[in-house]
Structures are given as structure tokens and as C-alpha cells.
Amino acid sequence: MFHFSQGAPRFLLAACYLWGFLSHASIAVADSRSHSSADHEDTVSANPRLSLHEVLQQVVALHPQQALLAAHQHMVQARKTMANSWLPQAPSVGFSHQNDALLSNRDEREWQAQMQIPIWLPGQRQARSQVASLADDSLLQDRAGLQQLAADLLRNAVWEIALRRNDVSLADQRLRTLREIAEDVQKRFRAGEVARLDVMQAGQETLLAERQQVTARAELMHAQFRYQQLTGLNEMPARLEEPLSSREDYVDSPYWQAAQARLKLAEGQRDLTAIEQRQNAQLTVSTRTIQGGFDYAYNSSMGVAINIPLQSEVQRAPLMANAEQNIGDARTQLETLRRQLDNNLHEAEHNLHVSRQELALIAQQQALASENASLARKAYRVGELDLNQLLRLQLLAFEAERSLSSQQLQVQWNIAKYNQAVGVLP
């Protein structure tokens, strides 16, 4: 309870009430943070025996695109079945019977059985085998492309956690430092060396640091939850750093290889369509048994016929147009991907180069800011520096430390991004 004389300045009265409010708010924030952490917490622990490659396989196994790849696998198997078949299409059999019971009624009877066998078109079987092989290769490249996609998702997830953990560590450190400063201010206030306004200002800065700590921990929990959703794991590798790849382009990237495989498959399908634009010839083998009128002896015979369908533009035009459309789509996708990969590689190279230069400068800045903050603490204790100057220098030191640690992580993340751009898996 505060007691003031009647002549106490109004601003001092208001300041003290404000200090009391801030003190209660500090307790409320701490209680709220503790309850929030207890009610909602997504924890991902670091496992030194777990590697990024092992986690990558887990991400690939859980990715929704696995269902699409399974469907493609069935299509590839169907193409292989068609290519390895003895006949281009299924044969057909037919039976017929004819008599004159309803007309002349001379006991004439005729039975006929036939089998139609499709004949391979020139080059058709080889073209089907080629398409089956291209489809198999395209599926293999698509699986590799899925791994590359999963690697991108995983790299972003783990480095996001690393940055958020760094923010939490810095927020904790800042809060500890400001609490120490607030204790020093309290001691000097009890000794009559500083005014109560300094105590209030130190408390306000401490409250701000607590708020930033709560925010940093919340962001970390969000990042960890996204990692859990992606991997299905509650652990992550303790070591995230990757060696910088020696590749200088993306020609070996699974993305690029998959797009080229899809174009080759479309071209192979066009070649097959050019052959199968006309229907297969049919070889017909038939037997006929006749029982003639007034002659009850059976007369059996056997015949062979061949049916050669004529080529028609009505059938050919839409088939070839669709095949050319597929090639155009594949080429468009390949060119679009080429531009995207060019941009990704350029940005990865540039960002890595710039981040390394910035790291050297930030390290020098952090060293100076840390030394200034240390000297400022000593100067404040002996009364050579006021609280505003101390807090300003301390804030500069905090920001410099945050920039340095964040930039160190960013350089490692940029190395991972470069590896991603040239198609290297972790």
C-alpha cells in the first residue's frame, strides 16, 4: 500500500500506481505462460543417432503422392503386359447355326465355328516395348522427384525449428539479463541512489522481455508441430549441417530428370500412336458343317479369311492430335521447370555468397556491442551511466547477438538450399 503526503506530485502518484499494475501484470503473464505451456506443448527432441536421410525416408513414406505413384505403377505393369503379350489384342470366337425349319423345311442344317486372331502391325510390338520401358523409367524418376520434394520440405522444417530454438534461447538470455538489471536497480533504489521511475522502467523492460519469450516459445511449438505432421516423429536429428555440394548445375536433379523422362515417354507414345492409328488385321479360321436337304450325310469344311481394315482420317486425326498435345504439354512443363531451376540455383548461389559476407560483418558488430554492454553494466553500477543509456546499449547487444546466431544458422540453411537447388539429397 502506497502512502503519499498531500503535496506529492501527481505524476509520481500515477507512476507508482502504474508500477503496481505492471507488477501484477508480470505475475499474470507468467501464470498464463505456465498454464499455456502445460495445456499445449509440441515437443521434438534431438536424437544424435538419427540422421536426416533416415527422416527423409519417413517423409517420403508418408507423402500423399505415394498413392499417385502406386497408380502409375499399375499403369507401367499394364504396359509391360501389353508389350509381352503373344497377340496385340484378345482373340475372339464365334458360333452360328442355320436351318430351314421355318421356311422350306427340307431338313437343311448348317453349323459354323470361327476364331478371329489379331495380327501384329509392323513395328507395333517393338513400339509397345519401348513405351513400357520409357514408362518404367519415368516412374523411377518420379520416385526420385518425390524424394527431392520431401527433402525440400524436410530441410525447411528442421531449419525452421533450429531458428525458432535459437530465438527462444536468446529470449531466455535477454530475460535473465534484464532481471539482473532490474535487481541492480532495486538495490540502488533501496540505497536511495536512483528514483522509483528507474525501477518502473526496468520492470517494464522485463515485462517486454517476458512477452517476447512467450512469443518465441509459441513460434517454436508451431514449427515443431509442422515437423511432427510432416514426419510423424517426435525426434529430429541433432546434426543438421550438410557439406556444400560440388555440383554447379541441376542437370542431375531428380526434378529435371523426371521432366525429361516424361517428355521421352510422350514422344514414345506418339510413335506408338502413329502405328496403332489403324486397326489390326484379323485372321479368321473357321469350320463349317452342313447337313443338306434330302441328304442326311454331314459335309464338313474348313476356311481361312483375313480382314484388313482401311485407314481413315476420321480415326487417325484425333489420335495423333492427342499424342501431339501430350508432347506439347511435356515440353511446356520442361521449359517452365528449366526457368524455375535456373532461378532457384541463381538465388541459392547469391544468397549463400551474401550470407557469408554478412556473417563476417555481423560477427565484428556483435563483438563490439557485447563489449559495450559489459562496460555499460559496470558504468551503471558506479553511477557513471544512467538507466536509459544502459538499456539502449543492452538492447543493441541483444540485437547483435540475435543477428549473429541467426546468421550462422542462415548460412547453414543456405548451404542446404544450394544442395536442394542442384538436386542433392541430405
Per-residue pLDDT tens digits for 62-109? 999 999 999 999 999 999 999 899 999 889 999 998 887 788 777 788
Residue 34 lies in a domain: no
H or E segment to which residue 94 belongs? strand 92-99
Q: What is the structure's pLDDT at 373?
A: 79
- 264: which 3 cell numbers? 521421352
Task: For residues 302-316, give the mean pLDDT.
Answer: 84
Number of domains the chain contains: 1
pLDDT-derived band of residue 193, with 50, 70 and 90 as boundaries? confident
Residue 20 lies in a domain: no
Segments forming the whole domain that contains residue 178: 41-421
Residue 404 lies in a domain: yes
Cα 152 to Cα 146: distance, rounded to the nearest angstrom: 10
Residue 220 burial (10 A CB sphere; 0-12, 13-18, 19+): buried
pLDDT-derived band of residue 38, with 50, 70 and 90 as boundaries? very low
Picking from 60, 63, 38, 44, the residue whose alpha carbon sits closest to that of residue 160 is: 44
Q: What is the structure's pLDDT at 294?
A: 64
Task: For residues 36-55, give the mean pLDDT.
Answer: 77
CATH for 56: 1.20.1600.10
Residue 12 lies in a domain: no
User: How high is the mean pLDDT of the chain?
Assistant: 85
Task: For residues 108-123, give the mean pLDDT.
Answer: 90
Residue 305 lies in a domain: yes
The residue ranking higher by pLDDT, 248 or 8, is: 248
Q: What is the structure's pLDDT at 79?
A: 92
Task: For residues 396-425, give the mean pLDDT.
Answer: 90
- The answer to whether the CB of 144 falls within 8 A of the CB of 285 is no
Q: Model's pTM, two decimal places?
A: 0.79
Q: How many angstroms separate the Cα of 17 from the Cα of each of 5, 10, 211, 339?
A: 15, 11, 21, 63
The residue ranking higher by pLDDT, 191 or 269, is: 269
Residue 346 has pLDDT above 90, yes or no: yes
Residue 8 lies in a domain: no
Amino acid identity for residue 45 in this structure: S
